[in-house]
Amino acid sequence: MIEIGVIKKSRDGLGCFNCANWLPHAHYPFAGYCTVWDEVTFEDYYCSRHARMNVDADRFYWCATCKVRLTREDALTHWTLGHRVVRGAYVDPDVRDEIYEG
């Protein structure tokens, strides 16, 4: 298979936003981190390694709509409601700079 890299627009309704390899940013979910290409991409990017996101495995998920971590059972409910359920959220490596004692 020939790798063609990240294309900067979605294709046929597929994009990072519904890719299982993509973690939307915890606070700004239009951008995120691609675990395949190891770089920051945007929700409407696309690449040949796109893997359609679904809730099948028994693991934790992240609902970008509700900003909450979900068990598989809860993830299915959120998925059915049309929420943006993904594998996880991306947190900047330097996030500690931005957090207050609380």
Q: Is 67 a residue that touches another protein (CB under 8 A)?
A: yes
Distance in Å, CB of 35 to another protein, minimum: 13
CA distances from 9 to 2, 20, 81 (A): 19, 17, 26
Distance in Å, CB of 97 to another protein, minimum: 6
Distance in Å, CB of 46 to another protein, minimum: 14
Exactly one of 27, 59, 69, 72 binds another protein (CB under 8 A); that residue is 27
- Binding string, 29-48, against another protein, x = CB under 8 A? -xx-------xx-xx-----
Q: Is 26 a residue that touches another protein (CB under 8 A)?
A: yes
Select the span of 12-20, 26-34, 48-56, 74-82 touching another protein (CB under 8 A): 26-34
Contacts of 75 (CB under 8 A, 6+ apart): 55, 61, 63, 85
Q: Is 4 a residue that touches another protein (CB under 8 A)?
A: no
